[in-house]
Structure 1
């Protein structure tokens, strides 16, 4: 029976592989013009200009470079690098106390002087090229930033991301609030409370953590890391399901800065090793990597 099943499965998968190979040859022989899909989905009544679409296409996580060369950080990093490689060049450390009008006495060896001169030339060249590149892109980035600020000022729309995948979704604020209120009105899931219990919950958890510390169940360092301070209630928001009719919202509750948020992070780190499994696939990329690394015995392929 086992041998029969093995041959049966082998025949089925062989047929599937042959079909996939045929389709792959057909697709490779047919030249198709690539279709560009915009990452911006506009569900609002506002008409977006071409500049606004271009400004949004990079996504919500994209960070535009600074238009100003950070001179202070640059000098600090170079000085740290110099001292790390060749040692101190002054009579005192940076953290030593000295009067405001006290002169700094430099005492550099010939090796340090030679290296300092070479490093200064490199830094001057780097600074010049960096400022030239920043000035080159200044007008373009400044225009994009102005466009994004104007979009942020429009209170009639909500700019968010889709429930699945990456990109940007723009919704009318009234539609967004209506759908969120409809979700919150579901008494089977949510219940209205008369007062905010955050401070009370924070006090209860703090007392419990203090007891665990005194009992040596957790360390002093762990207690400091997970003790809640300035806690806030959880916040809810919705992500539109643009792949479904009507674009319903998926409610997401953000627990950041809640009274037990730090505790949950510590527990997640301590329990993470229990989730590791040889059959667990993190994402599509890891799955493809495992397929490439898979060693197949050619004798088992029919």
Structure 2
């Protein structure tokens, strides 16, 4: 607050007064004495100033203090409201959260669940609690292989010193669960009488008696028309045969040395099965899923899928995703009857021989060559080897799928696309009913028929084409029909509108904000769902955006300002600079995420590669990315089995780092066993066979297995 006299400048600072002699022309302060401002305490001037002047100064001081106090109070209240937002109706919010917990935790077991059990399970099976970083093997293993390429020569030792320094100075993360909740996790994990699995639809956590769960799965595996037991694990035999075949292709110059090395899996494991539970069925049923990651043919299947991808997009009925589906619906005018046909158990029903014959015809009649040096015979032989390997493990038993394409193989979706394209062409050519519209995504088909046609008649015709390919029919209800995640609505003027659709079993559960994941992962979920709302809503996306705001802030504990910022930046994106698309980074290093420590090491590696430093969330700008030679990403820790290769790499890596650690005279010793962060409830709690890995997709291009000595357990939520 400033108080101006005719010839003086008076500035109030609390109870102090600063006086300046002021020039009338320029009002620039000049010195009162010796060129310095003179400071007086207001109370000391009471005997010097006239009563009227003193009273004016006192009043000005009081007014200034009140203004400052009110401004500070308003600022603090605003910050407090942002940090701890409270809804207007707390009772309604509590009821919503209680209903949310009932939807996300389904207890079908005899074990009563207390408040802590429900609290941790309602956060989702992908919730990751924080753990103290007592062992650095995860960083050492993932970084070591890229160091020689990233910093050849003597710079490697210096880079090891820097990374070792960061690891030793790293502070433990703040716990994101309470001690009773951590004890609840231990209690659930140690209770072998129950099994915790994910619901088949909606991501709910389902708690079952272990005996009941095993009976559900046995009911599936005992079907001798689909599965049969085998006595011996064929993994090693298949690996030897596959290596010999790849070597032959390399010698024939159909595979480069680099690609040959990529397709050959050094230490493969057997595919394993896990199960989810269909709680929307009465009684509940199990659904079997097979994970083929790190198996003999997995890398080969991935490569062949990429090679054949252009052939799978040529059908007129093909839709790539929901956005493509909505764009194609815009061309439909005066729709008739809206129905959908769904294939029952497509992968296990596709006839392999017919599919390979269809593919050979497609390859022999190509308009443009594929991006590969492999011949048609070599492609078909590799595919045959990959899809005829249909064995998997469940517990201590080995099973083999008798019919169809293997579940979990990257080749199964695209081969199904080839077969279904041929199937629908033959079926529609011979049908008396000619659909106005026919769009298909794998096994789901959206159809518009003329009003005079009967959808059941077309269903009967489709089911007569092949004994194992059977369809089900769904018709519109109340002028609405869901397809994929799109709700198709017929308006009163006979036009089509689209919006986002959620199944009744949907729980609105996404990655909890308190989970130990990178902030970039959490904001990516919000932006992805926002883009989906924009792409699928043909009228106004605002109702869907309001729903997302409510779900993330009230049910998944996201800060409102973060949610609003991400949604607004997605709806109104800033202009992007026109830059050329950068080449992929030749070196990719995946770091376990442990908070700030992961960010620090990631920035250090990017600086060493000459790519600059990313922002606070480690996302480099387009200019920085165009010069980047190393791509450091984060992976969530996973439960892993013990492999000799992983042990050797861990021993080598640790010995290489040990010299750097010792040279820094580090007094703190490593723990005897590595501590892995929890990622979900233990494997058997997830519905997988005991000892099985969770099936997920970390972004890895460095083939290093996680090291876990025998006797150590990974705590899972």
User: Which residues in structure 2 correspond to 1:216-235 (within 5 Å)?
Assistant: 216-235=253-272
Q: CA deviation at 1:291?
A: 4.2
Alpha-carbon distance between aligned partners in 2 of 1:59 and 1:165, rounded to the nearest angstrom? 11
Q: 1:64 touches 1:141 (CA, 8 Å); kept in 2?
A: no
Q: 1: CA distance between counterparts of 2:270 and 2:132?
A: 37
Unaligned runs of 5+ in 1: 1-31, 74-91, 97-103, 105-122, 296-302
Cα distance in 2 between the residues matched to 1:216 and 1:294? 55
2:289 is the counterpart of 1:252: yes
Q: TM-score, normalised by structure 1?
A: 0.60
Aligned to 1:182: 219
Per the alignment, in what secondary structure is the counterpart of residue 230 of structure 2?
coil
Q: Secondary structure at the match of 1:266?
A: helix
Match status 1:59 vs 2:124 = yes
Per the alignment, residue 162 of structure 1 pairs with 199
Distance 2:229 2:135 in 1: 49
Q: Give TM-score, length-normalised by structure 2.
A: 0.27
Could you tell me how far apart the structure 1 residues matched to 2:202 and 2:255 are?
40
The aligned residue for residue 37 of structure 1 is 100
Q: Who is 1:289 aligned against?
A: 534
CA separation of 1:69 and 1:155: change in aligned 2, threshold 3 A = closer
1:153 is displaced (CA, Å) by: 0.4
- Shift of the 69–257 alpha-carbon distance from structure 1 to 2, 3 Å rule, reads closer
CA distance in 2, matches of 1:211, 1:193: 30
Task: Name 2:587's counterpart in structure 1.
Answer: none
For residues 97-246 of structure 1, the aligned pairs below 5 Å read 134=174, 137=175, 140-246=177-283
Partner of 1:19: none
Partner of 1:280: 320
> 2:349 is matched with which residue?
none
Q: 1:233 to 1:67 in 2, by over 3 A?
A: closer
Q: 1:113-172 CA distances to partner (integer Å, 9 max, x unpaired)?
A: xxxxxxxxxx9xxx99x77x82xx57x444322221221000011111011121211111
Select the structure that is richer in helix. 1
Structure 2 CA distance for partners of 1:64 and 1:194, relative to 1, 3 Å: closer
Please give the alpha-carbon distance, in whole angstroms, between the structure 1 residues aligned to 2:184 and 2:110.
18
> Unaligned regions of 5+ residues in structure 2, if any?
1-91, 139-153, 323-484, 486-499, 501-528, 541-717
Larger radius of gyration: 2
Given that 1:161 and 1:167 are in contact with CA atoms closer than 8 Å, whether structure 2 keeps it comes out as yes
Deviation at 1:268, TM superposition (A): 2.7
CA distance in 2, matches of 1:95, 1:273: 46
Counterparts in 2 of 1:270 and 1:146: CA distance versus 1, 3 Å: farther
1:95 aligns with 2:340: no
Deviation at 1:61, TM superposition (A): 1.0
Structure 1 residue 276, shift from structure 2 partner: 5.5
Taking structure 1 as reference, are residues 69 and 256 closer, same or farther at Cα in structure 2, changes over 3 Å only?
Answer: closer
1:35-73 Cα deviation digits (max 9, x unpaired): 4232111111110001110011111111123456999x9
The offset of 1:287, in angstroms, is: 5.1
Q: 2-side partners of 1:190 and 1:262: how far apart?
A: 25
| SS in structure 1 at match of 2:228 | coil
Q: SS state of the match for residue 191, structure 1? A: strand
Aligned partners of 2:311, 2:197: CA distance in 1, in Å? 34
Instruction: Provide the alpha-carbon RMSD of the alignment.
Output: 3.6
Distance across 1 between alignment mates of 2:182 and 2:307: 42
Q: Distance in 1 between matches of 2:283 and 2:538?
A: 43
Task: Please report how far the alpha carbon of residue 292 of structure 1 lies from its aligned counterpart in structure 2 after TM superposition.
Answer: 5.2
- 1:262 deviates by 1.7
SS state at 1:53 partner: helix
